[in-house]
């Protein structure tokens, strides 16, 4: 395979992947609690170095060109989004560190984390996350049952008050490091089994939600930049293809 085609193809595929990531950020610019993703890119080493084959036959001139680029695993920025006042009593936001806990399914790994504090009360009287319908967990991992006919007041420590009594406390926790979390969709993050969660210092603000942490201008520029880079790679493929056509169908006939 032509070496230029290989390097150009790696650039195109990488920039298309980068465009997908930034486009997803842009699509969630108004999603409460959304955290922006980025796609690191690294230069690939030549085959002899990457596969640890020092005695492999190679071409020193081609090796000087490198081996193209490749995307690395997606990274999530956990920078907080702006707090937006809604005035709705079932909207909650965390000011500072921490995540709400919700129960998605059964089993030891059912607890998921989220910064999306849009809450609701389901038909069974359970406090749930509005986006996913998953029950909100209390400090010990259980569910919180409330009376839909009574006013709900939520204190800064997550305590749920109805008729002057505490009926539960929303769990506000944090992992040892946010790097262990992976996105699941619907504003949820998965926690690896065995991860010890600790109480977070963040404060719950009732009547507010955390806005998306996506910068819309940066996201738009990222989509545009990745698209232009991919288009440039496609044009380069066309040039290489024309050169190969000339080499095979024109110059080869001269001899």
pLDDT tens sequence across 214-223: 999 999 999 9
Decide: 188 and 76 in contact? Cβ < 8 Å: no
pLDDT tens sequence across 116-161: 999 999 999 999 999 889 999 987 888 999 998 899 999 999 999 9
Q: Is the pTM of this model over 0.85?
A: no
In whole angstroms, give the CA distance from residue 1 to residue 51. 19
Q: What is the mean pLDDT of residues 74-96?
A: 94
Rounded to the nearest integer, the mean pLDDT of the chain is 87
Q: What is the mean pLDDT of residues 89-94?
A: 95
Q: What is the mean pLDDT of residues 68-87?
A: 91
Domain regions of the chain by residue span? 3-77+214-254, 83-210
Decide: 142 and 170 in contact? Cβ < 8 Å: no
**Residue 215: per-residue pLDDT:** 94
Give percent of the chain with pLDDT exceeding 70.
87
Task: Using the structure block, give the residue that is written with the tokens 């997606």.
Answer: 74
Quick one: DSSP state of residue 197?
P
**Residue 105: per-residue pLDDT:** 76
Task: Using the structure block, give the residue that is written with the tokens 């409460």.
Answer: 32
Q: Which of 132, 136, 137, 167 is nearest to 150 (CA)?
A: 167
233 three-state secondary structure = helix
């Amino acid at each position: 395979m032509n070496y230029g085609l290989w390097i150009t193809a790696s650039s195109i595929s990488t920039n298309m992947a980068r465009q997908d990531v930034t486009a997803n950020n842009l699509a969630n610019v108004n999603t409460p609690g959304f955290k922006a993703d980025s796609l690191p890119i690294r230069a690939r080493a030549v085959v002899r170095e990457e596969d640890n084959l020092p005695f492999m036959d190679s071409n020193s001139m081609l090796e000087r060109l490198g081996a193209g680029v490749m995307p690395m695993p997606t990274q999530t920025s956990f920078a907080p989004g702006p707090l937006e006042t809604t005035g709705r009593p079932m909207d909650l936001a965390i000011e500072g560190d921490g995540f709400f806990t919700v129960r998605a399914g059964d089993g030891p790994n059912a607890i998921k984390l989220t910064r999306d504090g849009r809450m609701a009360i389901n038909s069974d009287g359970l406090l749930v996350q509005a986006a996913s319908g998953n029950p909100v967990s209390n400090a010990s991992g259980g569910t919180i049952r409330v009376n839909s006919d009574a006013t709900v007041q939520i204190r800064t420590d997550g305590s749920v008050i109805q008729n002057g009594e505490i009926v539960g406390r929303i769990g506000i926790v944090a992992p040892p490091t946010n790097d262990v979390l992976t996105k699941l969709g619907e504003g949820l993050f998965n926690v690896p089994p065995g991860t010890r969660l600790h109480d977070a210092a963040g404060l719950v603000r009732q009547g507010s939600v955390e806005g998306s942490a996506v910068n819309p201008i940066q996201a738009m520029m990222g989509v545009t930049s990745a698209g232009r880079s991919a288009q440039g790679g496609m044009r380069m493929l066309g040039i290489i293809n024309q050169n190969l056509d000339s080499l095979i169908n024109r110059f080869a006939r001269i001899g």
